[in-house]
Amino acid sequence: MSNNIGSSELIASLSKITMGGDGASNGETSWLHAIAKALGEKVGELAESMVKNADKVGSKNEKEATAASAQLTADSQLFSMYMNALSTVLKSIGEGNVAMARKQ
């Protein structure tokens, strides 16, 4: 599992979601939903990694516990950054849509 969000990977996820390849009943969904789902999946991967490393932190093997603690700290910071980005992106797009709808 990679914790890096590559732009090409994100775009591939978005196109798959918006073209109905990922659970859309009629092949259509909004970009806001597609972006939320794609970024949410990445945040979910980080959360899984955090849980795994949290379990290893209590290990009796000092090297394993130290490495897991460092990885948990890094994953926690990335999780925080991705959640902030997710929130900001969704809020910005939503507010932009509201502003455009008012002008119509």
Q: How does pLDDT run across 43-64, given as a tens digit for each residue? A: 899 999 999 999 999 889 999 9
State the pTM of this model.
0.63
- What DSSP string runs through 60-88? SSHHHHHHHHHHHHHHHHHHHHHHHHHHH
How far apart, in whole angstroms, are the C-alpha atoms of residue 69 and residue 55? 10
The mean pLDDT value of the chain amounts to 79
pLDDT band at 98 (very low <50, low <70, confident <90, very high): confident
